[in-house]
Amino acid sequence: MLQRSIGTRRKVMTRLMQLVSTDAANEPDASREAKPSEKPIPSDAKLLDAYSEAVIGVAEKVSPSVVKIDVQHEARGGRRNWRGRGGGGSGSGFIFTADGFILTNSHVVHGASKVSVALSDGRKFDAELIGDDEHSDLAVLRINAPNLIAASFGDSQAIRAGQLVVAIGNPYGFQATVTAGVVSALGRSLRSNSGRLIDNIIQTDAALNPGNSGGPLVNSHGEVIGVNTAVILPAQGICFAIAGNTAKLIAGQLIKDGRVKRGYIGVAGQNVTVPRPVVRLHNLLSESGVLVSAVEDNSPAQKAGLQEGDIIVGYGEQAITSIDDLHRLLTDKQVGIKAPLVVIRTPEKAVIDIVPEERK
């Protein structure tokens, strides 16, 4: 009886071993090369790590150059008053030379009686306003401090839509806040507080808030390619920065002269449509121009004989279709240079010589 039981167990164990051997034979050989369809799907972890490393590297490189700016304004009655955070009394800026020059927005410091700057290492200094250009919304400050780290500029003309960018600033007073996004669009235009149009604006979806104004917009190499300047508050992800190349040009003029020189002719005007028969009669290049509504006394326009009711349609060899066209042409290079101004004195066309002066 015992021998029969042992024999039965042996048969069962033998059968189990056969089954195990069969399953092992049917398993795919790990040494065999996998078919293309069997290759593992690559993980996104490496891509995310590379993105994180890029942002971290930029933040560590540029953050020591970013400053918090507090502005004091004279209140009525001669008393001083600190304006609330997120208004015009608190903003951002960045050191762009080792000897203490700081770039920021004009609307952050315009009209200030006192400006103070806080560095990322905790040091605080009073700042001198070197120059303020409301028309481009840029201003330059200077502090007298040792061991400053300056940010470097990149070429803003080399950037492309979709490119990674990082914004660093002090939104609502939260110092050294880092946000990242992409260049959403290039070549936008933005109206400054003075009413003049700023061209070559960069649109980005890097999160900006009040207090970011004046801070740097930086590429993946840690180079400044823009100066953060505006947000559309009801919208999300629509933010704007002044192009770095524009900022460099304006900053150089502010450091040199304390102002930006621009041409001035002394007229108030509005954009109008030129009647089509007049366009055909004089073979004009455009159906719009600038209607002169007022001429300032003793201005270049008055000296040239410009009259109320004239429609400006050309300056030099360029067609004038709007006030913005006229602003773009009246640069510092036009100051003191005689140029022909083409006007329509309905229904006749007249060409008068005008000599722009420097805008006061």
205 counts as catalytic = no
Q: Which of 289, 332, 331, 339 is nearest to 312 (CA)?
A: 289
Encoded tokens for 68: 């918090």
327 counts as catalytic = no
H, E, C per residue of 208-224: CCCCCCCCEEECCCCCE
Q: Which one is catalytic: 65, 107, 136, 192? A: 107
70 counts as catalytic = no
Q: Which one is catalytic: 70, 132, 133, 137? A: 137
Q: Which one is catalytic: 90, 184, 213, 288? A: 213
* Residue at token pair 């192009």: 243
CA pair distance 107, 227, nearest whole angstrom = 13
Helix (H) or strand (E) holding 303: helix 300-304
Q: Between β-strands 197-204 and 267-273, what pairing exists: parallel, antiparallel or unpaired? A: unpaired
CA pair distance 127, 311, nearest whole angstrom = 46
In this structure, how many other beta carbons lie within 10 angstroms of the beta carbon of residue 6?
8
Encoded tokens for 198: 């700023």
Helix (H) or strand (E) holding 225: strand 224-231
Q: Which residues are catalytic?
A: 107, 137, 213
